[in-house]
Structure 1
Amino acid sequence: MRLSPSLAACGCLIALIGGGAHAQASSTLDKVKASGSLVLAYRESSIPFSYLGADARPTGFGWEVCAKVVEQVKKATGRADLQVATQAVTSQNRIPLLQNGTIDIECGSTTNNSERAKQVAFATNYFYTGTRLLVKAGSPVQSLADLNGKKVVSTTGTTNYQVLRKVNAERKLGFELMAAKDHAESALLVQQGRVDAFGMDDILLYGLRASLPNPAEMAVVGEAIQVEPYAIMLRKDDPAFKKLVDDTLAALIRSGEFEALYKKWFLSPIPPKGINLNAPMSPQLRDNLKALSDKPAT
């Protein structure tokens, strides 16, 4: 089942009046054992990590990993009758909704960095990506150096927006940086010709491109800026739940299931258009399958 928008809004209000502290009073596993419910957060357009499929239900690589976590939560809490609720989140509200207890775990494409680690916790890094540009095919913009005098959009609340603002200032690139509410809106602005480029994690750009009616109309260009890890996001100061999620990932890696899921979502045709992203596993991720590190980006 999904939480209604009014319930999500209520969760935000509770946090403002002090409910956030209450959510931290017990561990996630204690909360789940008592309530019989776990709330999984998903993104609506973070292909192929979590997004809405043709049936309007969440799907994706991160979503399937979280399904494995749910199996372990059932065992750890003794709640075979566990009810799983789902809640859509955005770049802006995902951290507040986790902190105030509206959601229990975020199964998406959130960058694990030092600043966010002050507010939330992250499981073992399960992907690595870098900021690149989505442009119209044939665009004169092929790299950062081509952005002088151009309009660039990125999604509000993302590390990519901050990276682009920083590189624009440091390299004096001279582009106008705009913000959109989500990845889908950012991509639409490029399609409509209202901006020249959309700066975002390259794998998400490939996913957005693949979901378009005519993917050949768009291109992913430019050198990768600041390679960063993705990880499942959890509440801070909850070591028991973090251990369960980390252990679940470690078991998937040892069994070969993680690599099978990777091939399914990054190297095979995926919904909704049956397009193959053809995104081979990066050296950084390959190394982390051995290291099992949750080290954040700086």
Structure 2
Amino acid sequence: MAGNIRTFAVVLALGALVTGCGNDGDNGDRGGGSADRADVSPFTGEEAESGPVLAVKIDNSPDARPHTGLDQADIVYVEQVEGGSSRLMAVFSSHLPDLTGPVRSARESDLELLRQFGEPALAYSGVQTKLKPLIADAPLFAESPDAVPDAYVRDDAREAPYNLYVKPQQVLDAAPDASEASDIGFRFGDAPGGGEPTERYDVSFPAAGFSFTWSADEKRWMVAMDGTATDVGAATVVVQEVTIRQSQYHDVLGNFTPYTETVGSGDATVLRDGQAFPAEWERSGEEDGTEFTTPDGDPMRFAPGPVWVVLAEKSG
């Protein structure tokens, strides 16, 4: 896929309208769908014990698949990296897999994205030398293999660099002061009106593609990457239109690293319950969460369950 053109393909459902489901509507007015209740996750709107936040940078090249532990993430962010490829940031709190990966390197814009989580732990394979001071000064617990070597293992059945995996619990043991999950702007509850029945929604990056297909039986969107199906699903998918600009960093081939701006505002499409909803997003500052609203300005409520956020370049 050439250029920086993002293509959305929406295939309308041929059957009857799939009605919204989720928590009762009252929960939609409270952070995380009842963030004031300790037994409800502000990231998924589901019952869960409050736990520290761990973000893991995960490779998404074809050689890195299938992933391990991705299905237990509360939130998965899809980011653009060099050459128009994609990388994932998986955020864990409600559940911790024994192992997850393959783990890859962090990027400058990760620091802006992570600031809304307070001071989370970050598992990553490393960063280029020029970025190390920014990582060191960031309000997070940077737990690379250099910091906690025992938390990382190599899979001899795979070739490097697609064979590095992390043990989440050991990373959190090394970061006992990591912030616990808190309200980052997500709201959960019944679906609003105005949705368009949708069987499949496609998002294209310059050199990567994602398809989200609604499974009525599973009550979630099944994720395919570059045309390859996975067993990973999400109750809600947010396609967040953002500014992606060139940063001052580049890889060894000279490809500049994209910087994804997650502070600001713009349009979004929210997928839930077999429907696509127009939405808007706003994040006032790095320490603030991201608010999603309907075109009328009401809170855009998500379906309880894992959330995928695709940070796609806005058109124009």
TM-score interval, normalised by the smaller of the two chains = under 0.3
Greater percentage in strand: 2
Greater percentage in helix: 1
TM-score (norm 2): 0.25
